[in-house]
Every structure is written in C-alpha cells, then in structure tokens.
Amino acid sequence: MFRPFVIALFLFIAPLAAQTDSADRPLVRLTLRDGSELIGTVIARDSLTLSFTTAGGVPLTFPASQVATVDALSGSVRKGRYFRSDPNATRLFFAPTGRSLGAGRGYFSAYQIFFPFIAVGVGDHLILAGGMTLFPGASSQLLYFAPKVTPLRSENFSLATGMLYMTAGGNDDGTGIYYTVATLGSDPFALTLGAGWGFSGDRIAEEPVLLLGGELRLSNSTKLISENWFIPGSSTNIVSFGIRFFGDNLAADLGFINLPGSEMAGFPFIPWLGFAYNFGKTP
C-alpha cells in the first residue's frame, strides 16, 4: 500500500532553503551572426556594444548588431578551458546521486531499453520521477514512482533522501526502497555514498543496503562511472563500472555489471545500457 505520509514529508521538506551556487557573471555561449561561437562572460551590454571576456581571459568588444544569441551554460572553466556539465548528474548508472535537477528542468531516460523514466524538478530541491516498463506482449507492466528531495546542496556536497516505489497493480501492495544518499566533490571527481532500506507492503528491512559510487571525468564529453551495492547478510554484492558519453543535453551510458559471490561472478559481465535526454532551462 502506498504511504501518503511519505509524499507529505517530501512536500514539506522541499521548500527548505539550501545553499545554491551563483556567480556574478554567469558563463555563456556567445554566438555571432557569422556563426562564430565563444565561451565566456558578458561584462557589459547596451544598445550599441557588448563587452565580453573569453574563458581564456581575453577581453573583446562586439557591435550589438553582430550578436545573434547569448545562451547560459551550466559548465565551468578550469585553466582557461570550458568543461560542460554532465546533463545526467542526478544519477550514476541507475542509483541516484545527492544532486538535484533544479527548477524548470527535467529529463527522459531509458534503462536496458524496457525501463523508461521521466523526471521533473519542482522548485530547486524536489524531483518527481516515475515511469512504466514496456515489455512487449506482457499481460501487465510494472509501474514505478521515485521522488527525491535534496534539502542540502552546495558546490561540493549534496545530501538527498527519497524512495523508489514499484507495483504491478491489482492487489500488489508494492515494493521498493527508502534511501539517503550524499555526493561529495564535483568535477573532475566525486564520490556518492548511500544507504537504503528495502520494503514490501508494510514490512521494512532492518539492515540497509549500502551504496558506493564514483565519477571521474576524462574529457569534456566523457567520464568513468562506478556503482556498487553491498547487501547485508549476503555473500553476493553488485559491482559495476563503465563510461558515460555526454553533450549539452544528451548522455549515454555503457556499463558492465558483476555479481561477486554468486555463480555469475567473473566473466562474462552483464552489460548495462542507458541514456538520458535533458530538457528545460539551464541552471
């Protein structure tokens, strides 16, 4: 049976104020009418000219008539080089990170082809997500709902709590997991630590499943990811590693899963495929 008090708890916590990074001069992509693009910050702008400083620190001034668009970016500049943000930073392969989407943003994702997800940011601290399996020819499909609230967030630390609720409908009381997760660090390296308590109907596990995840950026469009689950009282755990390819809005994951302690330990690894398309305003 779905627990209404859980929804009420999330809606109560969501408006809590939290630290949000902001810059006096946000990073933008400047596009000129000849198609040229520059990354940097706008220093001043009026009806006649636009003063601009590139990511490398070069000051430039353009006639306003030559400026086509100025678009906000969510990336960062390190040593004069622009690095775009990972558009799917709220998740590892499947497990959530502590990060939030932000107001006005969302994503559509699919895992292992048959598990689509859609998520939207409600305010700066709450994510509402859910979906339904798409197994061809199945007489029933699995429904899932996954809200997450991030009451604490800063540049290098985010703390979130949430749940994943799943049901096949009918008389099924539903199963899932309640969790708390924290992400430490940002680019180029971050760790995610979490604990989750499984439930089925009104029964909740006494011991949590533990999560350890990591992210390591390799380039402006790739990062390594590892997602690992440690199950209490079991000799079988879940470990995974792989790579994420991403652009400004689209991310695609290729991972490999192993089950140490089980008959499936060692080779071959179980492949993991996922992608996410982000939409909405740039944070």
Mean pLDDT, rounded, for 159-185: 92
Percentage of the chain lying above the pLDDT 70 cut: 89
49 and 110 share one domain: no
Q: Is residue 53 part of a domain?
A: yes
66 and 131 share one domain: no
Nearest-angstrom CA–CA distance, 72 and 27: 6
User: Is 1:201 a contact under the CB 8 Å cutoff?
Assistant: yes
146 and 197 share one domain: yes
> Where in the sequence is the domain holding 61, given as residue range(s)?
28-72
Mean pLDDT, rounded, for 19-39: 77
189 and 55 share one domain: no
Residue 84 has pLDDT above 50, yes or no: yes
Residue 18 has pLDDT above 80, yes or no: no
More confident residue, 117 or 138: 117
Q: Which two tokens stand for residue 227?
A: 């997602």
60 and 160 share one domain: no
Structure confidence by residue, pLDDT tens digits, 229-240: 999 888 889 999
55 and 113 share one domain: no
98 and 219 share one domain: yes
Residue 15 has pLDDT above 70, yes or no: no
Confidence class for position 13, pLDDT limits 50, 70, 90: very low
Mean pLDDT, rounded, for 107-124: 95
Whole-number mean pLDDT of the chain? 87
User: 136, 131, 129: which is closest to 116 by C-alpha?
Assistant: 131
175 and 105 share one domain: yes
Residue 86 has pLDDT above 70, yes or no: yes
Return the CATH number at 47: 2.30.30
Confidence class for position 5, pLDDT limits 50, 70, 90: very low
Among the listed ranges 6-15, 48-57, 151-160, 237-246, which one has the minimum average pLDDT value? 6-15
Question: What is the reported pTM?
Answer: 0.80
99 and 34 share one domain: no
Domains: count for the chain? 2
Cβ-defined contacts of 193-200 (< 8 Å, 24+): 194/95, 194/96, 199/175, 200/173, 200/174, 200/175
158 and 41 share one domain: no
Residue 282 has pLDDT above 80, yes or no: no
pLDDT value at residue 55? 87
Most confident of 72-76, 91-95, 279-283: 91-95
Q: Is residue 19 part of a domain?
A: no
Return the CATH number at 157: 2.40.160.40
Q: Is residue 81 part of a domain?
A: no
